[in-house]
Structure 1
Amino acid sequence: MSPSTRVPWDRRTRTSGDRPRVIVIGAGMAGMAVGCYGQMSGLETRIFESHVLPGGCCTAWAREGYLFDYCIDWLNGTAPGNEANQVWRELGALDGKAITRFDEINRVVAEDGRSVTFHTDPDRLQAELEACSPADAAKIRRFCADLRRFVRLEIHPFLTPTPLMSWREKLRMLGKVLPALGLFRRTGGTQMADFADSLSDPFLAAALRNMFYQDPRTFALIPFHYTMAEAHKGNVGMPQGGSLGLARSVEERYLGLGGRIDFRAKVTRVLVEDGRAVGVELRNGERHYADHVVAAGDVHTTVTKLLGGEYTNPRLDTLFTEVAPDPEQLYPAVVSVFVGFRGDVAADEPVSTTYLLPEEDVARLPGVLQKSLVVHLRSRLIAGLAPEGRSLIHCTYFSDYDTWKALRSTDRRAYWDLKRQLAAFIREFLERRFPGIDERVEVVQVATPATTERYTGNHRGSILGWKSPKADDLVDDLIAKDRLALPGLAGFHLAGQWVGSGGLLRAAASGRFAAQYLCRELGVPFHAEESRGAEPWQAGKLGDLPQLDNWTERPRAARPTARTSRT
């Protein structure tokens, strides 16, 4: 059927020869992945997105010539020859892009100035850690020996959910897993916190906990080893264009496959008839119909609001009634402070540093959960974030959600004042580290957990969803046992970070899994193929950038070039 003769989406009646239609809620990485794989498999898909940009948390916004890149610190799957990279090649995410790879992940600096750098090379890392604490040499050697074992592994289960694997695929996976079973049990069964606490040097213990910028608290050793090993192999890196660039590339792939995204189109209800999802209703009252619906946004909102609490399953109930209320199980929200300034800092400064803070500094970080602050030289890692001759620093810390949400809901002026106070402290802190920088500051932008929730809908502003072994087990069962579906509701699947254990790759993989499950239900063969896009990446592909609101203020009359923007 030609586009001119297609039945409109707001009509139920269609001819039997029409392609099956799929509505996707949310144009984040998972939603666009569902759309891409649906289009590749011969389905007709349409994505409804409440924001003006694709990508969800994988986003950026602009202000006074600066681009505030919000999401990616590093991306898994940037080297060819593995399943993680295959997902990105199929989605066109890395088309035409250079990749910046990491020799080191982070540096941690103590209050007294002691520091340790986390090199991705196991030999350099071992030498660095032993120099920091010779008394812990034996434990450090064992830690780095396990890291070398991870370097030799090639296990990337991102293409097919277990129930849909062929026996040959299962045997191949088993052949990779069995030799490493002891390694997985040892590193998966040991918490980083427990390993760190066993060390004799308190600073090294704190540094290890903050290897990945801040202390995730409930992580086992395995994600630390896995990520460092993949970085050493070049499979963890930063793609040209950063966060929004990644989202725009997947959007381009989706649209090139014939898909459609409706922006500023907030879904308020999933339409259900006789136990089957048949479409969605938008905030403006429009109804659109399809043969299948995939919710790729916040799962809590999907279950409680879009489905009216009528459809759930025991695993989701456990996640949101038992796991989510425990702050140790949910990945924290983050406060981001972007600082744009003229010139740069010293060339030998590392891209990322976690500073362990004294109590007087901690007291000036609203809602802070840990005694640390991350300073990331963002424009060093991603080209094009700052105008010529200028630079951008991104400061972050884990923050309590309720502090910011309650204040924004009850006293908007106090909320803005608190952001101004935070911006002033960050400027002071940076001036201590980089003398002379304060007089060169041109713009300060503060984004809080309330900001994240407003623009992405993420539950409690969490940036990565779950972070506990208990949640991981439940999510694995959501994929393998529940098949990303809800009991009693046909024609419906879930996707996204809340059912994929967080992270961009897992979100994209959850979209691939959901597409495979829905193709099986619709009786359509699943098909995936790599993008052939070869045009070199250029900044124009970012498209129009949102300025958010146009209000700015001059926080210091003596420095009229500096502005703090509120979001």
Structure 2
Amino acid sequence: MPVKYEPDWTTRDPRPGGRPRVIIIGGGVSGMSTGCYAQMSGMDTRIFEKHVLPGGCCTAWSREGYIFDYCIEWLIGTAPGNDANQVWRELGALDGKTVRDFEMFNKVVGTDGRSVTFYNDPDRLQRHLLEISPADAKLIKAFCRDLRRFIAIELYPFLTPPPLQPLREKLRTLRTVLPAFRLFWRTAATQMHTFADRFTDPLLRKAFRNIFFQDPQGFPMLPFLFNMAGAYHGNAGFPQGGSLGLARSIEERYTSLGGVINYRARAERVLVENGRAVGVEMRNGERHYADHVVSACDGYTTIYGLLEGKYTNPTIDKLYDDLLTKPGNLFPAVFSVFVGIDGDLDSDGAHSTTYLLGSDEAAELPGALQNSLVVQLRSQYSDGFAPPGKSVLHCTYFSDFEYWQKLRAADRKDYRSRKHAAGEFVRRFLERRYPGIGERIELVDVATPATTKRYTGNFNGSILAWKAFSDAEDVVTKLTNKDRMQLPGLSGFSMAGQWVSMGGLIRAASSGRFLAQFLCQELGVRFRAWESGGTEPWHRDRLGYLPQLDARPVRLGSAE
């Protein structure tokens, strides 16, 4: 039998005639995607992940038989026949899984009890909105007309980075973009706030801002229309197994291609010699060497921690010295309250509802940034999230990271007390809307923005990094299109993930594909990719080990 080739990670020098070695820091979606495409293209890769699970923020945890799915609310690319779906198929992310599609994107309930349901079907949406406010017919018809136009367009440019796109691919994109150029330009130039403020009905003015569950602030109309159109086509569904299920499937694909992932392995420093990255030094002092190093973790940690701030330029300085802490450039952090309930819950057909809160009520939510609370019936999203005969809710609100981080550092007892207060608020809130539900609540599990920072390392607990359509977007785009995901003065090193590709899981996954193509060109290797073709039906056991996030869960009705 032929001897299996094993890469040597202990020496600086590449093995003569051997495959290129690539070390990847971070086992999130972008890191594993980079590893999959590099393996398919004939490289040897090794991922170092500090946590015990793959996926980064695309994760879940468990308590008493409930699974608390943290990340995916909708996933672009769940329908066959488009480039986004091709990326997921190549990564094995949807292998053997069913996909749950919803007729609506979100429901918004005002403080007076009136509600708006944002159906994905523009005809149904138009009829519904006209019933709510006939006086706003002109605006309603204009929005639904634009939604129909977006439904007629399928544009998912996630296969090839712009600098490497062949002429045929550029022409294909132009054939799609040019006829709709005015539509794209107008909806990208019109802020949703500006559009929503034109409604005479006060509920519609607030509801349109919250189509994406909470108000992302600073978003134009384009992403709302794009995502609702995707949902209409069944291309923004929820995959069986949820967030951790997605990560586990990509992990399985990666290891089946020969990749190696090490958990509880924290990289402390990128080793650089003569202006070239040659490996990494781990927290335990071990050193591992490679021909190329990729950081697929937090951007600030990468540049100022792993690389000690030695490799910057005006683009990097603008991002991390100017824009990083400027309001509006990062996605806010999220406060999560998971609620396990005995029995079913009648949600009137709404899997997700945004409840608008009055100022006094919102003031009871610790660290809240907006007057709203999102309630998602997660046990409707996928099987297995709750034990048989039970339900699980995920209640969230945008929250101030500094509030929770400082509180945790200064007074751990007070920190737990505020977590308890948020859990109590949610219990009282649910009781008002579902009388009698309080007696059926079996447990509450709380995750603060400080929790996100501890487990993922994401700057300020932001789960999506840079916000699209912010001042940061054009600057970040240069990192891919001009700098090819590399840093100035440092060869043999690249960055992947949402800090160089903006937010969204499909962008994180495509950043790994982009980077692998850049890397193939640099190393003189042919880029290769193919669909995994896995058909084994998904089941809950494939989630593997599920940790408890906190050994001290919130217990309602008793002080912590």
Q: TM-score, length-normalised on structure 2?
A: 0.98
1:133-148 matches, cutoff 5 A: 133-148=133-148
1:156 paired with 2:156, answer yes
Distance apart, 1:552 and its partner CA: 4.2
Question: Match of 2:502, as an amino acid?
Answer: S
Structure-to-structure mapping, 1:447-458, within 5 angstroms = 447-458=447-458
When residues 75 and 289 of structure 1 are mapped into structure 2, their CA distance, relative to the original with a 3 A threshold, is same
Superposed, 1:309-348 pairs within 5 Å as 309-346=309-346, 348=348
The residue correspondences of 1:118-137 to structure 2 (distance < 5 A) are 118-137=118-137
Query: How far off is 1:348 after superposition?
Result: 2.4
Q: Is contact 1:107-1:117 (8 Å) kept?
A: yes
> What's 2:261 paired with?
261
Counterpart CA distance in 2 for 1:97 and 1:312 is 43
> What whole-Å deviation, never above 9, does each CA across 1:366-388 have from its counterpart, x for those lacking one?
11010000011111112111111
SS in 2 for 1:490: coil
Aligned position for 1:479: 480
User: Aligned partners of 1:79, 1:469: CA distance in 2, in Å?
Assistant: 29
Any idea what SS the aligned residue of 2:339 has? strand
Q: Does 1:500 align with 2:501?
A: yes
Report if aligned partners of 1:23, 1:294 keep a CA contact under 8 Å in 2. Answer: yes
Q: Does the 8 A contact of 1:102 with 1:236 survive in 2?
A: no
Alpha-carbon spacing, 1:31–1:117, altered in 2? closer, same or farther (3 Å): same
- In structure 2, the residue matched to 1:182 is 182
Report the Cα offset of residue 476 of structure 1.
Answer: 1.8
Other structure's SS at 1:87 match: helix
Name the aligned partner's letter for residue 216 of structure 1: P
For 1:40, the equivalent position in structure 2 comes to 40
How far 1:8 sits from its partner (Å)? 3.2
Residue pairs, 1:44-443, within 5 angstroms: 44-346=44-346, 348-443=348-443
Q: CA deviation at 1:548?
A: 3.0
SS at match of 2:346: coil
Give per-residue Cα distances to partners, 1:66-125, cap 9 Å, x unaligned: 110000001000011100000000000000000111210111001111110000001111
Q: Deviations along 1:449-480, whole A, 9 cap, x unmatched?
A: 00011111111001111223322212222111
In 2: Cα distance, 1:484 partner to 1:251 partner: 23
Distance 1:384 1:3, change over 3 A: farther
Q: Distance in 2 between matches of 1:3 and 1:533?
A: 27
The AA in structure 2 aligned to 1:547 is Q
Is residue 2:533 matched to residue 1:542?
Answer: no
Is the CA contact (8 Å cut-off) linking 1:61 and 1:546 kept in structure 2? yes
Q: Quickly say closer, same or farther: Cα 1:382–1:313, change in 2 above 3 A.
A: farther
Distance in 1 (alpha carbons) for counterparts of 2:78 and 2:85: 6
Check conservation: 1:311, 1:488, Cα contact below 8 A: yes
Q: Tell me, what secondary structure is at the counterpart of 1:6? A: coil
Query: Take 2:429 and 2:270, find their aligned partners in 1: how far apart are those partners?
Result: 48
Shift of 1:4: 6.4
The C-alpha deviation readout for 1:131-189, integer Å capped at 9, x for no partner, is: 22211111111111111111011111100011111112111211111111101100000
Distance 2:391 2:479 in 1: 43
Q: What secondary structure does 1:515 align onto? A: helix
Q: State the one-letter code of the partner of 2:517.
A: Q
Contact 1:479 1:499 in 2 (8 A): yes
In the alignment, the residues of structure 1 paired with residue 486 and residue 38 of structure 2 have an alpha-carbon distance, to the nearest angstrom, of 17
The answer to whether the 8 Å contact 1:298/1:459 transfers is yes
State the AA in 1 paired with 2:429. Answer: F
CA contact (8 A) 1:7 1:14 kept: no
- After TM superposition, the structure 1 stretch with the greater mean CA deviation from structure 2, 288-297 or 469-478, is 469-478
Superimposed CA distance per residue, residues 170-224 of structure 1 (whole angstroms, 9 cap, x where no aligned partner): 1121111111110110000000011011221221010000111000110010000
* Structure 2 gap ranges (5+): none
**Counterpart residue type for residue 555 of structure 1:** L
Judge which range, 467-476 or 61-70, deviates more. Answer: 467-476
Give the secondary structure class of the aligned counterpart of 1:547.
Answer: coil
Distance across 2 between alignment mates of 1:7 and 1:373? 51
Question: In 2, distance between residues paired with 1:484 and 1:143?
Answer: 37
Equivalent-residue separation in structure 1 for 2:4 and 2:262 (angstroms) = 19
Say which SS state the counterpart of residue 156 (structure 1) adopts.
coil
Specify the alignment match of 1:560 in structure 2.
none
Letter of the aligned partner of 1:529 in structure 2? Answer: W
SS of alignment partner, residue 348 of structure 2: coil
State the alpha-carbon separation in 1 of the partners of residues 210 and 367 from structure 2: 19
Number of paired residues? 559
Q: State how far apart, in whole Å, the 2-side matches of 1:312 and 1:87 are.
A: 31
Distance 1:432 1:130 in 2: 29
For 2:176 and 2:436, the matched residues in 1 are separated by 54
SS of residue matched to 1:234: coil
Q: How many angstroms does 1:440 deviate by?
A: 1.0
Q: Distance in 1 between matches of 2:554 and 2:196?
A: 44
In 2, Cα distance between equivalents of 1:224 and 1:471: 19
Letter in 2 for 1:409: A
| Alpha-carbon spacing, 1:116–1:553, altered in 2? closer, same or farther (3 Å) | closer
Taking a change above 3 Å as real, the CA distance of residues 394 and 520 of structure 1, as seen in their structure-2 partners, is same
Q: 1:522 to 1:304 in 2, by over 3 A?
A: same
What one-letter code is carried by the residue in structure 2 that aligns with 1:459? F
Measured after TM superposition, the shift of residue 349 of structure 1 is 4.4
Contact 1:76-1:505 within 8 A present in 2 as well: yes
Measure, in 1, the Cα distance between the counterparts of 2:95 and 2:305: 37
User: What corresponds to 2:519 in structure 1?
Assistant: 518
Instruction: Report the 3-state secondary structure (helix = DSSP H, G, I; strand = E; otherwise coil) of the residue aligned with 2:12.
Output: coil
Shift of 1:35: 0.1
In 2: Cα distance, 1:4 partner to 1:508 partner: 30
Structure 1 residue 491 and structure 2 residue 492: aligned? yes
**Counterpart of 2:375 in 1: which secondary structure?**
strand
Instruction: Give the unaligned 5+ runs of structure 1.
Output: 558-562
Deviations 1:528-551 (A, max 9, x none): 111111111111110011123433
> Alpha carbons of 1:3 and 1:192: their partners in 2 closer, same or farther (altered >3 Å)?
farther
Q: SS of the residue aligned with 2:355?
A: strand
CA distance in 2, matches of 1:110, 1:469: 28
